[in-house]
């Protein structure tokens, strides 16, 4: 079982019950939409998600749960679309409840997964994409050393409106320089 320990959180292996809890507790942010609204998904959909995680784990993805130090699962984070030939991947993250967002947990989770990706998995470049509306993700990425590399104009359609997609990246040498 993997456990990457931070100050207020740790990243650990996702089990079926964790996926079900994240699925069941997810709260959509209607005031600041950052992703598509998915309604009517059954618990079987959470089980399918868990099976997909198991299938991809260690191959094309490394997905871990974000846990408070008391063991409460609050989200998930992943190194995804891992390209071993080019030593690169993208990062994705989600928090289940609104109360866990904008508290610094995401920034801490990003720091832990970057350390693992660069120092243990041998990655040399990690990217992230986010909507222009997701200010908290932008801050978390920038505070973690990611650089804004560009934007795709009107590339995301959410809640009846079009938004720009921001593309971020961090190189292993930038990460190491910031974390000496």
- Of 18-27, 74-83, 86-95, 145-154, minimum mean pLDDT range: 18-27
pLDDT value for 91: 97
Q: Which residue from 118, 113, 121 is spatially nearest to 177, judged by alpha carbons? A: 118
- According to CATH, the topology of domain 3-178 is Aminopeptidase (3.40.630)
Residue 151: which pLDDT band, with cuts at 50, 70 and 90? very high
| 63 beta partners | 78
Instruction: Enter the tokens of residue 53.
Output: 């995680």
Residue 138: which pLDDT band, with cuts at 50, 70 and 90? very high
pLDDT value for 39: 65
Q: Where are the domains of the chain?
A: 3-178
CB distance 124 to 87 below 8 Å: yes
Give the pTM. 0.92
């Amino acid at each position: 079982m993997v456990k990457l320990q931070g100050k207020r959180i740790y990243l650990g292996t996702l089990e079926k019950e964790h996926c079900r809890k994240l699925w069941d507790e997810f709260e959509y942010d209607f005031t600041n939409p950052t992703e598509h609204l998915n309604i009517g998904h059954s618990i079987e959909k959470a089980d399918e998600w868990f099976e997909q995680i198991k299938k991809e784990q260690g191959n094309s993805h490394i997905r871990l749960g974000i846990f408070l130090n008391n063991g409460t699962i609050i989200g998930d984070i992943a190194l995804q679309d891992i390209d071993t030939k080019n030593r690169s991947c993208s990062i994705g993250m989600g928090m289940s409840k609104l109360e866990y967002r904008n508290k610094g947990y995401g920034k801490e989770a990003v720091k832990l997964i970057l350390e693992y990706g660069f120092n243990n998995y041998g990655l040399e470049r990690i990217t992230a994409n986010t909507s222009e509306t997701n200010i908290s993700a932008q801050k978390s990425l920038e505070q973690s050393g990611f650089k804004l590399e560009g934007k795709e104009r009107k590339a995301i359609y959410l809640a009846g409106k079009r938004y720009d997609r921001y593309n971020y990246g961090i190189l292993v040498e930038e990460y190491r320089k910031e974390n000496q």
